[in-house]
Structure 1
Amino acid sequence: MEKAAVLVAGGKGTRMGGPIAKQYLPIGGKPVLMHTLEVFFKVDPDIHLILVLPASDFALWDKLVLDHQFTIPHHCVGGGNSRFQSVKNGIKAIPFHEGLVAIHDGVRPFVREEVIEESFDVAQRTGSAIAVISLKDSIRKLSDDGKSTYQERQYFRLVQTPQTFQLSKIRQAFEVTELPQFTDDATVYEHQGWQVSLIPGNAENLKLTTPEDMAYAEFLLSQKKA
C-alpha cells in the first residue's frame, strides 16, 4: 500500500519573535523542517513527502535546501489561509488515489519512528490513527461565570500528530466547508460520522512554538547524539 506524509508548515511563526518563521530556524545545525522530513524518510524511503509552505517562502526553502545539501525527495505545495486549507492543498497533491497518508505538523521533529509506523498500521486496519499522550497534571474546567470544576484526567488525552488516515476517506472528509470546530484533522474526519482510533504518541514530540521550545529542542538533539 502506497504511503504519503503531508507535513504542514504554513504558519508565520509570530510567537517565536524572530525575523524568520520557526520551521526554518536551525536546531543541530539545520532547519527544523529537515529534521522532520528525515524521520519520515527513515521510516519508509519510498514515502511520498509533501511539504506545505507559504508560497512566498518557496525561494527561501530552495536556498536552504541548497545551502544544506539536503537531498531527501519531497514536493512543495502552497499553503492556504488556514490549517484546514493547507492540509487540503497537501492532500490534493498526493499522486495516487488509494493508500495511506500521515498528516503531521512540520515543527514536530521529535516524533518517534515507531509512532509513525504504528500510525500507518492502525490506519490501514481501522481507517485512522491519532497520536495522543496522557495528561500528567490535574485539570479543571472553567465555566462562563468564572467558576472551575475538577475533571478526571484519565478521561482526557493531549492530541499530537501524526494523524494518519486511509487516503480515500480523508479526501472525502476534506471536501466539506471549513467549520470552526475543525481544530485538527481528526475533527474533520469525525465530522463524517467516523470514529477515530487513538495510538500512543511520545512525550518529546512537542510542537516547537516559543524560544524556550527551541532551547529544549537543542537539548533533545544533544541527548540523541549522546
Structure 2
Amino acid sequence: MSNYAIIVAGGKGLRMGGDVPKQFLPVGGKPVLMRTIERFREYDEKLNIILVLPVQQQEYWNNLCLEYSFRAEIRIANGGETRFESSKNGLDAIPSDESGLVAIHDGVRPFVSIETISRCFNAASAHGAAIPVLPVVESLRVVEPNGESKNVLRSNYRMVQTPQVFQIGLAKQAFAQEYNEAFTDDASVIESFGHSIAMVDGNRENIKLTTPYDLSVAQTII
C-alpha cells in the first residue's frame, strides 16, 4: 500500500497580470510550485508525488528544475481543460492495484502546514475522504435569483482548502463519472458519487496564490 500526492498546477496566471504562470513565480527566491512540493516531502519523504502540468509548460518546468537544482522525484501527468480532467489525469497515473490514500492539492498553496496534511491523511484513513476547512469570519449574504439578498448564519458555512485526501479506489471510481459543472472541487466529485466527506482543521496561512496581493502576503509569510 502506497500513498500519493497529486499536485495540480494548470493555472495560466492571468489574474497575476504577467506572462509567467503563477505556479512558477518566485516567492522568497524559489518558485511557488517547488515550495509546494517540498512541503509534502517534509510531511513524508516516501510519498509518491504526481505533478499535473499542461503539456506546453512542462519544458519550462524542466528548465526551472535545472536552474534551481531541484531534484525531487516526481511523475508528470498532462493537465486537462478543467480541474476535473487534470485531477483525473493525475489519478490515472496511479497503478490500478494501489490501495492507499491520495491527496489532491493546489500547486499554488505552498504554505499548507505539515499538521494540516497529517490531519487530512489520518481522517481519510478513517473515513475514506477528508478535506481541510476554516470557519468563516466575515458576514455572509446570499443573493436570490431575483437580485434580492439576505443574511445567512456564517456558523453554518466553512471555507474549503486543499489537500483533499481520499482512498485511491474511491477516487478512481468517482472520477470515472462524466464531468458536471457542479464539480467545484475534488471533494464535490467524491460527494456526488455518494460518499460523505469528513472535515478537519486547515491552517490560515494555507492561502491560494491567485492575485498580486496574494504574492505580497506570501512574501510576508516567508
TM over 0.5: yes
Q: In the alignment, what sits opposite 2:162? A: 161
In 2: Cα distance, 1:147 partner to 1:195 partner = 32
Which secondary structure does the structure 1 equivalent of 2:150 belong to?
A: strand
**Unpaired runs of at least 5, structure 2:** none
Q: Once the 2 structures are TM-superposed, how far is the Cα of residue 57 of structure 1 from its aligned partner?
A: 0.7
Amino acid at match of 1:54: P
Amino acid at match of 2:139: S
Does the CA contact (< 8 Å) of 2:13 and 2:19 recur in 1?
A: no
* CA distances 1:193-216 after superposition (whole Å, capped 9, x unpaired): 111101110111110000110111
Amino acid at match of 1:20: V
Q: In the alignment, what sits opposite 1:130? A: 131
Does the CA contact (< 8 Å) of 1:48 and 1:94 recur in 2?
A: no
Q: Once the 2 structures are TM-superposed, how far is the Cα of residue 76 of structure 1 from its aligned partner?
A: 1.2
Structural RMSD (CA): 0.8
In 1: Cα distance, 2:133 partner to 2:194 partner = 20
Count of aligned positions: 221
Q: In the alignment, what sits opposite 1:141? A: 142
Does the CA contact (< 8 Å) of 1:9 and 1:106 recur in 2?
A: yes
Q: Once the 2 structures are TM-superposed, how far is the Cα of residue 145 of structure 1 from its aligned partner?
A: 1.7
Amino acid at match of 1:174: F
**Unpaired runs of at least 5, structure 1:** 222-226
Q: TM-score, normalised by structure 2?
A: 0.98
Does the CA contact (< 8 Å) of 1:51 and 1:74 recur in 2?
A: yes
* CA distances 1:100-147 after superposition (whole Å, capped 9, x unpaired): 000000000000001101111110110011111000011011112221
* CA distances 1:60-87 after superposition (whole Å, capped 9, x unpaired): 0000000000121111111011000000
Pairing of 1:65-76 with structure 2 (within 5 A): 65-76=65-76
In 2: Cα distance, 1:76 partner to 1:16 partner = 25
| 1:38 equivalent in alignment to 2:61 | no
Q: In the alignment, what sits opposite 1:224? A: none
Q: Once the 2 structures are TM-superposed, how far is the Cα of residue 97 of structure 1 from its aligned partner?
A: 1.7
Identity %: 47
Q: Once the 2 structures are TM-superposed, how far is the Cα of residue 11 of structure 1 from its aligned partner?
A: 1.6
Q: TM-score, normalised by structure 1?
A: 0.96
Where does structure 1 differ by over 4 angstroms across 4 or more consecutive aligned residues? none
Q: In the alignment, what sits opposite 2:59? A: 59
Which secondary structure does the structure 2 equivalent of 1:164 belong to?
A: strand
